[in-house]
Structure 1
Amino acid sequence: MRDRIARLLATAGTGDFLGARFDAGLAWVHFPEGLGGLGAPRELQQLVDRELAHTPQPNIGRQAIGLGMAAPTILAFGTPEQQKRFLRPLYTGEEIWCQLFSEPGAGSDLATLATRAVRDGDEWIVDGQKVWTSGAHHARWAILVARTDPDVPKHRGLTYFACDMHAPGVEVRPLRQITGEAEFNEVFLTGVRLGDDLRLGEIGDGWRVAQTTLMNERVAIGGTPGRQGGGMIGIVAGTWRDQPALRTPELHQRLLKLWVEAEVTRLSAVRLREQLAAGQPGPEGSGMKLSFAKLNQELTGLDLELRRDLGYDDWSFRRSDEVDMLGRGPGYRYLRAKGNSIEGGTSEILRTIIAERVLGLPSEPRADKDVPWKDLPR
């Protein structure tokens, strides 16, 4: 592996380094050869990332959905042609992806979504509305779940597509956030035609495909290991050191408690990444995402409290290219963290997943489980 890394560093130019890295099989080493990987054990990715830490990297802020959600889904359910077509430009950042899942009437209960896809020969005609779509304003492609059979129960009538965001009938409108930015959007799909070659998985099997996306999404949000004392806990500790007048016993105790929680979360993320070497993520990712949301909200709150003399008055309307939790001011971080317990699955839903799939508790009653979607009240 080190020989391959050395050859890449010796031969690749800076202009298309990410493309060269993909072609060398060092993008995701556990992916198959020719698709950015080598078919190698997943744990070797840590070695690769460490050796290439000072080279050009994917823009995580802009490419998070493509890298963390679309790529593993395309690998698991895409045809060889789809994998060849999408994975390389996804990794290099030439094509940005967004996620067309949530709808105004289908958020936590995603399976009730109403966006329709009707077959027309070798194409599908898509009509509906999606909401809270991060980065749709600069996305080239989207992962889309639509209803293709309203006559069966809600989980069984869904189909999964790659949606061309430049296709006629796709309209993106900004949603302004409490931070004054618009990283989210609502997306209207009116008579959008998608070829059947853009379908991922079988017709009617979209819920199973979407579960792969959602499990990887939760790992991407909450399961990325950091260094000890890094990230938000490092920022809060730095604020503490810079504000000696605020070092009360009560605040000191809160900081110590959060430091311990941050370290437990970091080590749990390391363990989760090791488990991923054996296959696709399971419900453990939901626990990590739940822990991340709670911890980040508490840390940003304490940081703002320690800087109580610093207000937040930047309410200018901007189009945000990426989420930047660490590189922005304390007011932005505090406000943006409020969304952590909603995005990627609400904390309430994640607790239900943990209760049922990890702890083995009885499932919640689901009266609509076997009712055709068209008969559900809306």
Structure 2
Amino acid sequence: MRTTPRALAAVLAGALLVTGCSSDDGDPTPPSYEKSGSVRAQVLPQLAANGEEVESAADAAWVVDATIADAEEGTSVTLVAKDDDGWSEVDEQETDAKGRVSLTSRDSGDLHVVVGDGDDAIGAKVSTDDAPEATFTDDFDDEDSVDGPDAFWHTRDQGYTGVRTCSKASADAVEVTDGVLRLSVAEDPDREGDECQLPGKRKKFPYRVNGHVGTEGRLAFTYGFAAARIKTQAARGQHAAFWMQAVGGQGTGGPKKGGAEIDVIEYFGDDHPEGGLTSFTYFLDKNGKKQTVGGWLPNADELGDDWAEQYHVFSVEWTPKEYVFRIDDKVTQRLKGVTSGRPEFLILSLLSSDYELPRFNGKLPQTMEVDWARVWETGPK
């Protein structure tokens, strides 16, 4: 039997009744509810902004994480916010099996998380003023955002080696225009007509250039949130990625000492048999052996299928005890355990690795678009 809001409220002694009334300017207050410790909520940064059009990072929606104690899966939770027309319900979602729910609001200020209605309603008040403040934002409004004299981003010097013997990073595959960073995989103009043959493969491939930029030496942080609003490529044979690496290179001894690679998101193209989305982290143990945590996102088709058609915000919440990966407001993976204890820098890339090339099913160039990137450094809170 599903736990009712009244039953949740009954377990709380001395609960505060929040009544509906009118303020001095005539705007009604939120619906009446009983303030309850069974409703725990916090406002996270502006991490949700899916859609087709470019928009400012400052216009993204706030995410409210809430947990309803003892609530069964499927309990309905409402978020109430105030805009120019007064108070209104801005989102409604259902709890998961652990009583968790994520809600969003484009309106700032006080927000009310409410379970039930009428005399049965319980809830809690939160404020966007309590969310972490952004410490870095790039809306890519400046055409010199990459490789410019004051730019945070620079083209990485990698290619024609390792797992990418047929491709290299190149400024030729990077463009900033109309408020968007465009990273492409295209044929290498300096090797026109040349073909790359992979070991053990008959088929040959044109040499490629990759869009691959990072903030190494310009920007790094330790613990907090990192997010990027991205529209991916469509075809397989390359993968869009937003990721982080430890400053100074990854070392042995586990993630706290040696740092980690944090892959916030990788997308391997439409119609991928595993759904195409991965989030994971890897580190080197005391013996220098690579340890990987995370991987393919389960039930990726339930998260969406419009990655190449609409922008989505891909983010990680990084604390000393866990990584929480999100797509917009949806939690996609929680990886608990010791995390990187080193400063990490940001990377955005569209890479065509050798193992992907045989699965290429589109036409070059393929392009990934980044509307904005943002960091909220919190320290080890």
Q: Same fold (TM over 0.5)?
A: no
Larger Rg: 2
Of Structure 1 and Structure 2, the greater strand share is in 2
More RCO (CA 8 Å, sep 6+): 2
Of Structure 1 and Structure 2, the greater helix share is in 1
What TM-score bracket applies, with the shorter chain setting the length? Answer: under 0.3
TM-score by length of structure 2 reads 0.22
TM-score by length of structure 1 reads 0.22
